[in-house]
Amino acid sequence: MRPSPENLKLREKFLTGELAQKLSASAETAKDYFTGTEKFPKAFRVGTCEAAAPDKTVFQVLLLWHEEEKNVQREVKAEMVKENDKWLVNKVSDQ
């Protein structure tokens, strides 16, 4: 799961060409683009969904960690666009 060219190649079919190109051009880092962290969450949950346009929607994604007797939750937004009859990730961002 760690960010690497090999892992990006495996995820490409789920990404827009623009996002795949952006990620492949960025410097290699331990921080995961999709979660914004170096430590992966234990679980996630999809929350609200907003139709921004007929070919674009934004999902609320809740990332969940269980750390030392406490639960940590963080929210990100995943922008999906429809390209060639497929819904693809176009952008992931914090609130």
> pLDDT at position 88, please?
97
> pLDDT at position 1, please?
60
Reported pTM: 0.84
Segments of the chain with pLDDT less than 70: 1, 95
| Structural domain harbouring 30 | 5-94
Q: Is 8 helix (H, G, I), strand (E, B) or coil?
A: helix
> pLDDT at position 75, please?
95
Number of domain units in the chain: 1
Joined tokens for residue 64: 């969940």
Mean pLDDT of the chain: 91
One-letter amino acid for residue 45 of the chain: R
Question: How do residues 18-37 score in pLDDT, each as one tens digit?
Answer: 999 999 888 778 888 888 88
CATH number of 13's domain: 3.10.450.50
Catalogue the long-range contacts made by 88-95 (C-beta closer than 8 Å, 24 or more residues apart): 88/14, 88/15, 88/16, 88/19, 89/14, 89/15, 89/16, 89/19, 89/34, 90/15, 90/16, 90/18, 90/19, 90/56, 91/19, 92/33, 92/34, 92/36, 92/61, 94/36
